[in-house]
Structures are given as structure tokens and as C-alpha cells.
Structure 1
Amino acid sequence: MLSVSFDDIPVSAWTEAGPILAEHGVKATYYVAGGLSGRRNLGLPQFTTEHLQALCAAGHEVGCHTFEHVSTLALSPTDLRASLERNAAWIADRLDGYRMQTFAYPYGDCALAAKKVIDASFTCARGTLDGVNAGRSDRLNLRAIGLESRRLPSYDLEALLAQTRARRGWLIAYGHDVGDRPTPYGCRPLDLNRLITLAKAIDLDILPVAAAWQRMVARDQF
């Protein structure tokens, strides 16, 4: 399986990526930090409530990214729990009671003490360690690849996807902005299109993170 995800949600992650996902009939996971809404991050405008409601209505998964977009290394378990609760309330208020099922660590920072807190609130969590999830994997720090201009040149996507298929594994890709001139943390539209096209060519199922996790559990692979 392949899951496509976007962190923070710069506006272009919806306005540019959304049509590509729709063209392919693919649903993604958008990891939201409510405190970023309507602001700028890394020089880019971030999503608004209207963007969030539109992507949710289109069937994409909404996941948690803390409220303030802060590293779990900088938070005590109590402070992390409070941030998650703020984000849950913020999302539920705007998405008619929506409950987030999965989490992504801001900056990929997975503090050991944070894992117990995350485990109590989410079915699984994604980090930024490279690789395919297959065999024994940590459901509270799932591996992923960066759909980012700074990382993409170092990947052999065809080999990664083939490995995913051969091992009956799960490849998660994460990105941020999408545009012809992306930041180091974003990708071009053709990069997103290429990943999805390659995955489809070898018959990988493309599912949001929560749905993919449920399928892995049903296979008893974790």
C-alpha cells in the first residue's frame, strides 16, 4: 500500500495537490496544526477553515500535528496532552465533531515520553525515518519518505515501490507545499503525479493513513 500525506497544510497542499489527487481518485491524509490556520509558516500562507472543510468533504483524512506545531522534544507529557486536546477541540468545532485517528510528529521529533501520550489518543503515528513499513514496525513512529525537493533526488522511487509490493508492506510519503517552485520541504505537481502513477502501475492500493493502518491490522502484520 501507499499513503500520501501533507503536514502543516500550506494552501498549495490543497489547491495544487487536491486536483491531482482527485484526477487519480486518491484520498490523502492532511496533518493539521490548528494554530497555523490563516497564518504563514516557512514564508507560505497556511490553510483556512474553508480549505479544511473542503478537503474533509472531499473524503480526505484529517490527522493531528499538535495545535501549535511544536516538537514533542520540547513538551512535557502534560503539555503535549494539552496541545492534543486543544487541536482535537479546534478540529471538532470546525468539522462537525470530527475525531482524528492518526498523528504525525512535527519535525519528525519523536520523544520517548511522548509515545505513551500519543498511544492513548491515536491508533498510529508517523515520523520521518526513511523506509518501508513491513515486518516488525513501530506503529507509534511509522517510517516514511519525504515528498520533498530536498529528499526526492536521493530516492529510487521505483525500487521503493517494488520493495513495498514484494514485502506486502506500506510506504508512506509526506510533503508540505506543492508548486512549480517548491520550498525544500515541498514538491512539484509532477513529482506527486509521478509517485501516484508509479504506484498504480504496480497495483499498489493507495489509502489514507488510518485506512491503511486498519488494513495492516486486519492482516495481522503489526
Structure 2
Amino acid sequence: MSAFIDKMRRRAGRYLDVRSVEIAPARGVFSLSFDDIPVSAWTEAGPILAEHGIKATYYVCGGLSGGFNMDLPQFETEHLLALHEAGHEVGCHTYEHASTLTLSPAELDASLARNAEWVSERLDGHVMRTFAYPFGDCALGSKAVIDGRFLCGRGVRDGVNTGKADRNLLQAIGLESRRLPGYDLEAMMAATAASKGWLIAYGHDVMDGPTPYGCTPDDLDRVIRLAKAADLDILPVDMAWERIAA
């Protein structure tokens, strides 16, 4: 029964309280994002991003710092400092990596406040401007909380953001080696360019032999090359939002 109720709550979060934004950049946009920040999302992915001259968004949970998640070591403060200094966006992923289905709106707001304080203390007052839902779980009551704190929120439902989109539950594709063969990436990039839409990808670890939620360095390189070949603007989520909302 609990699984069924959670399924219904996810559906409510997806289809209700939609706060629309018109997706209308001058040309198609592609954004790369990494959730949780396993160490390899910086040590392996960072050099690839630098080689291509692009910036990504890293969604941080302060409570994961220095620990383990999915049996992988998570970022240390030095990694967060380095990626921030390199010009990548640091966004919010709650403090303790909690599903919004398990939190009341007040508890979610407290988690966001705690994460904001944790990041601000380490990044010289940095204010996070965008949010990604842990596990992609969006409880209906969480949307107003996210809307009050951030420019936008990103989920995990497959698709390109075109026309009118829910600013608090943007669509995205999984940058996961197990799922990438199921996407026609060339067609998806071409559709993003043709529709002047916004395609967001999210990943976790980047390494040979990745977890089910990660990808290989070659996967990451290929996705970036395809976005470039489609002549998409490649921007972190906050900068992409400014193009779309301008």
C-alpha cells in the first residue's frame, strides 16, 4: 500500500500545482548536471568539461560531504571549492539527500535552509539558485517551497523542455550508461535545436565500470560532442534559465 500511495503522490506532484514558464531561448540549450557529487563527478568529469570549455551544474547535499553514498566516496570541501572556482554552478539537493515525499513543507524548508548555510560558509556567501529533487521525488506540497527559494527545480522525468514547462519540475534525461543506449541522442539533440527547447541531463559518478546511476568518461564526452554538433548552447542550469526567462 505504501508503494502505491507514494506512486500516487509522485503523480500528484507531477501534474498538479504546475507553475508554467515559456521555454523560448534564441536557440536550443543543453545543460549538464551532476547530483550528490561523488568524487569522480569532479575528478573524472571536471577535466572533460574543461577540455570542452563548458560549465555544468553540481547539485550538493552538505550532509553527504566526506561520506559514502551508493558505496562511493562523496565530495570533500576541497572538491566543492575547486569546482566552484572553476566557474561551475553549485545548486541545492537538500542537506541530507532526502526525498520530498518523506518531508513536510516545513521540514523541507528547514533542510534547504541548513544546506544553504552549509554551502554559504564554505563558498564565501554563495547563494544556490536552482534545485534538483533527490530521487526525482516531487511531493505536491514541496513545489511552493521550491518556488519560494529557487529559480527552478529539476526532476528526472524523460523529455525535452519545450513550449510551456513546469518551472518547479523540469524534465531531464539520465546520463547513465545503462540508459543511454535507449535514447536516440542524435535525434533528441536535433529536436532540441529545431524546437529551440532546453534539454537537461543529470548524472552521478563518472568512471570506467560506473554504478547503475553513473556513466563512463567516454559516455560523457560523446554526449557533449553531440550537443556541440547540434549547435546547442551548453550552459549550467542557472545561466540557461536566464536565457529562457530573458
Could you tell me how far apart the structure 2 residues matched to 1:90 and 1:19 are? 26
- TM-score w.r.t. the length of structure 1 is 0.98
Residue type of the alignment partner of 2:88: H
Could you tell me how far apart the structure 1 residues matched to 2:220 and 2:42 are? 13
Deviations 1:32-52 (A, max 9, x none): 000000000000000000000
Q: Kindly tell me the number of residue pairs found equivalent between the two proteins.
A: 218
Could you tell me how far apart the structure 1 residues matched to 2:197 and 2:42 are? 27
Could you tell me how far apart the structure 2 residues matched to 1:117 and 1:49 are? 27
Residue type of the alignment partner of 2:174: G
Q: Aligned residue for 2:53?
A: 25
**How far off its partner does 1:3 sit?**
0.2
Could you tell me how far apart the structure 1 residues matched to 2:212 and 2:178 are? 5
Helix, strand or coil at the partner of 1:133? coil
Could you tell me how far apart the structure 2 residues matched to 1:118 and 1:151 are? 28
Identity %: 71
Q: Does 1:129 align with 2:157?
A: yes
Q: Which has the higher contact order (CA 8 A, sep 6+)?
A: 2
Helix, strand or coil at the partner of 1:177? coil
Residue type of the alignment partner of 2:213: Y
Could you tell me how far apart the structure 1 residues matched to 2:54 and 2:228 are? 10
Q: Does 1:69 align with 2:90?
A: no
Alignment of 1:31-180 (within 5 A): 31-180=59-208
**What do you get for the CA RMSD once the two structures are aligned?**
0.5
Could you tell me how far apart the structure 1 residues matched to 2:40 and 2:159 are? 26
**How far off its partner does 1:150 sit?**
2.5
Q: Which runs of 5+ in 2 are unaligned?
A: 1-28
- TM-score w.r.t. the length of structure 2 is 0.88
Structure 1 moving runs of 4+ over 3 Å: none
Could you tell me how far apart the structure 2 residues matched to 1:180 and 1:198 are? 20
Q: Aligned residue for 2:23?
A: none
Could you tell me how far apart the structure 2 residues matched to 1:56 and 1:214 are? 19
Q: Does structure 1 conserve the Cα–Cα contact (< 8 Å) formed by 2:44 and 2:207?
A: yes
The structure 2 residue matched to 1:191, chosen from 219, 222, 228, is: 219
**How far off its partner does 1:70 sit?**
0.4
